[in-house]
Structure 1
């Protein structure tokens, strides 16, 4: 709890895994106190990255992952509902998105809490399903770009929600390739064909031994340091592109992954790349040859964006 203007603010942040947990940690870094957090049950990574910023961390079952079907959602929703309603009431709840946030936000709303939601940075013309539902009972939906303002009647533009940069930007001569938790085999196959670049590749759930690069690994807790030292960052549609540009001013290439049918569309991703000043490449399935090499030989100059997380914090603390 935080003593602010002679009252105690009980704040709960729903960190729903992956980039959603990234939003939660970004907010936590700028808060003048330790909040409480909810993470997906069994998500040890979210627990680890939030432990230094949390007063308490609670686990709630996630409805489904990116590739899970409706059966998994229905099965897990009962557990998610039960976990969510077991939480005490909070004054303010920040839901970072995904189906994991939904039951927590709804249960807190029914208990009288004020809800704020966060839309993904790459949703420019389409809405995320969970955030679209939560927008109906949220005070505001925080968005990163003015181009997202029309998504919701209660949108509030704060700027890009990213963490405090921890390193100085350098050019250490390597190209960082990263494609999230699931990995991107088609992109990695194209990377393996190019010998002229010094690639460092984060493969996620893909076996690193299948990728030809100077260095390949599944996960690294020092990803931010690798972003800070890269000459160019290659990634899929997601939060890393925003971090690369906004936090470290890195030339960035966004490669669209058509497997992510529940994520932002190709049109969203093109506009997202334009906002960042990143180069957009379609899914490698469509490539004729040489697309990645050309993009790396002549990367776009990234645009300048002010970090928006402090504006979000100011709004939350002045709200009540």
Structure 2
């Protein structure tokens, strides 16, 4: 029985890789197929480095972050054709990670291929279900792996797993720099704040925002948009400043790094401010709104990373892998 995992870009790919790494310990990479958006080089590089031997299948993603809905219909039809061609007819397991990229292939897999469907709910969804997981849960009756116990109130068939994060690739050390990560779309308000500070020795992952837009003269800032080997930067950071996302979770849970989480008001369809605050509070890390803190107060927060007492949680990716393996053997995992 093959396992198909949706690596739909950004944090969705990180969830897929995290579970794939643990599954590889039981069944090897050859039995795992990752479904990525077309031309997503970042996801493919991350998968092939961490789960050698696994296969990658590309299916069109109907809508990417910040794109207009006018693109949706044409891409849905293309995704439907590709799903019919590329979703294996051999019965297997599909693990969705919460992107609109999952919807068409999952419906094909469930109703035409008779695959077993599971979902992973987003770590930041505390009060409301994420849209894609909600649809798949209702239509395909898919069990949902939860990252917090409090999420059990969202799903009747939820399965508490724990936090889903990737394995560390490097031994943590202090490289003398502060890592700033801003996810797929970047964080404009955070960059406005950083420019007003006197902070130096920053390594900045800027996402969709081009480095020249935030470059400051006479500052020792290294800026890049994306790096599939972001782990090397996390491992050497003295402190991580991160937009809400899987990198912040990885920094705390996999690498034990003091981390400051920074709200991104440009993400309008994601989790609420209070939901993100819940996650930060339960990992023992500060959570700030970059529009409501002065540059000097932010500098003070950054200068005392030893005051941040992180809290580690159960390895949810390991739990999911064991559950799936047990399911494949037709037994109940407890």
Matched with 2:259 is 252
The CA distance in 1 between the partners of 2:115 and 2:17, in whole Å, is 21
Q: 1:154 and 2:161 equivalent? A: no
Output the TM-score relative to the length of structure 1: 0.91
Residue 196 (structure 1) shift: 4.3
Residue 297 (structure 1) shift: 3.0
The one of 181, 184, 205 aligned to 1:181: 184
Matched with 1:6 is none
The one of 50, 62, 71 aligned to 2:47: 50
- What are the ranges of 5 or more consecutive residues in structure 2 without an aligned counterpart? 329-334
The answer on whether the counterparts of 2:43 and 2:228 sit within 8 Å (CA) in structure 1 is: no
The CA distance in 2 between the partners of 1:102 and 1:119, in whole Å, is 14
Output the TM-score relative to the length of structure 2: 0.87
The CA distance in 2 between the partners of 1:166 and 1:38, in whole Å, is 23
Moved more, 124-133 or 194-203: 194-203
Residue 247 (structure 1) shift: 0.5
Q: Which SS does the other structure have where 1:29 is aligned?
A: helix
The CA distance in 1 between the partners of 2:64 and 2:296, in whole Å, is 33
Q: Could you list the per-position Cα deviations for residues 159-211 of structure 1 after superposition, in whole angstroms to 9, with x for gaps in the alignment?
A: 11112211122222221101012212221222122224421111122222323
Q: Are the structure 2 counterparts of residues 60 and 301 from structure 1 closer, same or farther at C-alpha, using a change threshold of 3 Å?
A: same
The CA distance in 2 between the partners of 1:38 and 1:318, in whole Å, is 23
Q: 1:280 and 2:287 equivalent? A: yes
Matched with 2:33 is 36
The CA distance in 2 between the partners of 1:233 and 1:166, in whole Å, is 17
Q: Are the structure 2 counterparts of residues 195 and 286 from structure 1 closer, same or farther at C-alpha, using a change threshold of 3 Å?
A: closer
Greater fraction helix? 2
Matched with 1:88 is 88
Q: Which SS does the other structure have where 1:285 is aligned?
A: coil
Q: Which SS does the other structure have where 2:169 is aligned?
A: coil
The CA distance in 1 between the partners of 2:61 and 2:133, in whole Å, is 15
The answer on whether the counterparts of 1:114 and 1:138 sit within 8 Å (CA) in structure 2 is: no
The CA distance in 1 between the partners of 2:141 and 2:324, in whole Å, is 13
Matched with 2:129 is 127
Instruction: State the superposition RMSD in angstroms.
Output: 1.8
Residue 58 (structure 1) shift: 1.3
The one of 10, 14, 23 aligned to 1:22: 14
The answer on whether the counterparts of 2:170 and 2:235 sit within 8 Å (CA) in structure 1 is: yes
Residue 152 (structure 1) shift: 1.3
Q: Which SS does the other structure have where 1:147 is aligned?
A: helix
Q: Which SS does the other structure have where 1:135 is aligned?
A: helix
Matched with 1:172 is 175
Aligned residue runs from structure 1 range 186-201, under 5 A? 186-201=189-204
Moved more, 230-239 or 214-223: 214-223
